[in-house]
Amino acid sequence: MLIQRPPRIPTSEITPEPIYQARRQFMRQSLALGSAAVAAGSVAGAVAKPSFVADADVASPAWLSQKIAGAAADTSEVNDKLTPYKHVTTYNNFYEFGYNKDDPAKHSDTLKPHPWKVEVAGEAGKTGSFNLEDILSKVELQERVYRLRCVEAWSMVIPWVGFELGSLLKQFNPTSRAKYVAFTTLKDTEQMPAQGSAFGTIDWPYVEGLTMAEAMHPLTLLAVGLYGKALPNQNGAPLRLVVPWKYGFKSIKSIVKIEFTEEQPPTSWNISAPREYGFYANVNPKVDHPRWSQATERRLPSGLFSPNIIDTQMFNGYDEVASLYKGLDLRKNF
């Protein structure tokens, strides 16, 4: 991955967050007061609706906007401050639209996320091509506030709206031969012009993969929104993976294919630089990238005078996944 310059967003442009934080405080208070509602099943009752809703227009069909607006709020305690919407949607990696962090926000309006189909293939009882709307009609949307740690040593905290990948995969009845799940991004030089550019580090389409156990882990999401709105194109509309304990490049955007495989599938950054990017890509402060340290990270917003450097945590702080890697040498399997 290219080493990027510091963010270009001046600190003066940072959207004030009080709206989001105030709203969250309100949700907490109503939760505390409404203990009866909580006991009766808070997810369906008092806390339906995401806690964090950006005051932004994101074009999306009514059926999707409505579904996202009804997502169950994340009620877990999150100590990290959210990264403002403006940064989440203007500081992006989406090489299909260019290398610079502001390219995806500037150039992704050529992407047409609706209507959208996802092909499901491979080692499963049920395969075929499915409309996004049909896929979403069979899952429950939830808000999840997750840290996102890029391999380039910057990070954000994002309130996603999505559903557990495992809840979808089960519906296709994977066979006993399904050991991995492979994902593919759209390939279309009209919608993704930079895929046609002559000098490139990636052989399109972008591909990624997980072990079956990783894919079925309840932390693993397919996201359709963030900050209570549909995903902006630059964040991977209309459907992208979110694996919070792995480096951001595993969280593949604008997915058109999901395939159950017996063999470990190829992954884009591993193909382009195998010594630098592995298949596992678990966040690990003790295993440095060959060209830089992974011990710390720049938590966005980060500026010249307040770089906001923090310690990187093992598995990005999601210790509950440690059991997935018992007996695996994480230095070799980086």
Phi/psi for 237 (5° steps) reads -55, 150
- By the rule CB under 6 A, 188 interacts with ligand MTE: no
Which residues within the stretch 23-82 sit at the binding site for ligand MTE (CB under 6 A)? none
CB half-sphere exposure, 220, CA atoms < 13 A? 22
- By the rule CB under 5 A, 244 interacts with Mo ion: no
Quickly tell me which residue has 């959207």 as its tokens: 15
- By the rule CB under 5 A, 104 interacts with Mo ion: no
Residues flagged as binding site for Mo-molybdopterin: 92, 95-96, 150, 185, 235, 240, 251-253
CA angle at 77 for the pair 71 and 82, rounded to the nearest 5°: 75
Least distance between Mo ion and beta carbon 125 (Å): 34
Positive or negative CA dihedral for 119, 267, 271, 156? Answer: positive
Least distance between ligand MTE and beta carbon 93 (Å): 4
Quickly tell me which residue has 């954000």 as its tokens: 156
Residue from the set 248, 283, 284, 334 that interacts with ligand MTE by CB under 6 A = 248
Q: Give the full edge-to-edge strand order of the sheet including 255-261.
A: 128-131, 117-122, 255-261, 180-185, 207-211
- By the rule CB under 6 A, 235 interacts with ligand MTE: yes
Residue from the set 155, 191, 251, 282 that interacts with ligand MTE by CB under 6 A = 251
Q: Is 261 helix (H, G, I), strand (E, B) or coil?
A: strand
Letter for the amino acid at 120? V
- By the rule CB under 5 A, 248 interacts with Mo ion: yes
- By the rule CB under 5 A, 50 interacts with Mo ion: no
Which conformational region is residue 316 in: left (phi greater than 0), alpha (psi within -120 to 50 degrees), or beta? left
Residue 114: both structure tokens together = 């609706």
Which of the choices ligand MTE, Mo ion, none does residue 147 contact, using the CB cut-off of 5 to 8 A by kind? none
- By the rule CB under 6 A, 93 interacts with ligand MTE: yes
Taking CB under 6 A as the binding criterion, the range among 65-73, 91-99, 166-174, 284-292 that sits at the site for ligand MTE is: 91-99
Letter for the amino acid at 334? F
Residues flagged as binding site: 92, 95-96, 150, 185, 235, 240, 251-253
Which residues here bind Mo ion, judged by CB under 5 A? 93, 150, 248-249
Residue ranges that bind ligand MTE, judged by CB under 6 A: 92-96, 148, 150, 185, 206, 235-236, 248-249, 251-254
